[in-house]
Structure 1
Amino acid sequence: MQNTKLLLTSLTLVGLFALAGCSFPGVYKIDIQQGNVVTQDMIDQLRPGMTRRQVRFIMGNPLISDTFHADRWDYLYSIQPGGTQRLQERVSIVFDSNDQLVGLAGDFMPGVSRDEAILGQDGSSPAVATPKPSEQPKAEEPPKPGSLLEKIQHEVDNVETVPVPTPTPLETSPQ
């Protein structure tokens, strides 16, 4: 009798511990984020020829700065929303020997928003969303007369430069 009670109690306790590890429906699970948050706006600000310092200002510190690949910075971001499948994004930025940006690779492409990449340019298929290197950006049109942009441009063009005075060196007398 005593052994049966002890066995029943220990099985109940083991069962409760086993159930504590299970997930119950309706239980809130937190979103787990790790790494560097990289947005399309950040990628769109990058230009070839930027220095490491300028890239760090836009993108933040790289998650991985490899000793064996000193000319490459890696930015990784992963999120696991509410216990579902983990999503991961990666961007690698490559510099040349003069510490200037020469390229990037990964899940983001310059000038292509995530919506366009998923839906396609005309909404027909995702394969259409690849950027065409032959497309040239449009030349800027001059501002319309009387517009605020035209007034600002006029003020910038008519700014008078003022020379910066150079201080005279202090004379020191020998002691």
Structure 2
Amino acid sequence: MRSIIPTSLAALALLGLAGCSSLPSWDSLPSVSGDKVLGLVTPYRLEVVQGNVLTKEQVAMVKPGMSRNQVRDLLGSPLLTDIFHENRWDYAFSIRRQGAAPQARHLVAWFEGDTLKSVDVPDDLPSEKEFIASINTFKAGKVPKLELSEEERKALPVPVRPAAQAQEPVGPVRSYPPLEPRS
């Protein structure tokens, strides 16, 4: 009996060590920043949008000579205004969305006093349609047809409507006096 216990403990230890060798090493395990955790679970990623979305159409409306309030009305409040550089407004934008490439842009508006002097626009500033297409992660398949053509409507069979039949009242039939008094 005494020799069975050490033998069984040794067998369990060998099985445990054999099981450990089949697991991947900690260095080869993907981290949480990868696509999957431990190769099994895809974590939810929070969509992070920072700053102002600026498009070519918005920036095209901004012209030198506009006041600060007019620029703010068109582009929104700047993400960064520096008290040491009062003549500069920084519009920064970044977005990280699962299934789409991350984007980052930086636009600078330069002022002389209260008047817009110039705008430094990045070369990769998209139009509204380009921006929406770049963040759209909806994988659209075949779009269903939602409306019939006139020929298809005429080809449909005419529905047969059954004749309305008078139904016998269910339950006791009651007679009520008129609501208005007769004169």
Normalised to the residue count of structure 2, the TM-score between the two structures is 0.45
Normalised to the residue count of structure 1, the TM-score between the two structures is 0.47
Of the two, which has the highest radius of gyration?
2
Going by fraction, where is helix more abundant, 1 or 2?
Answer: 1
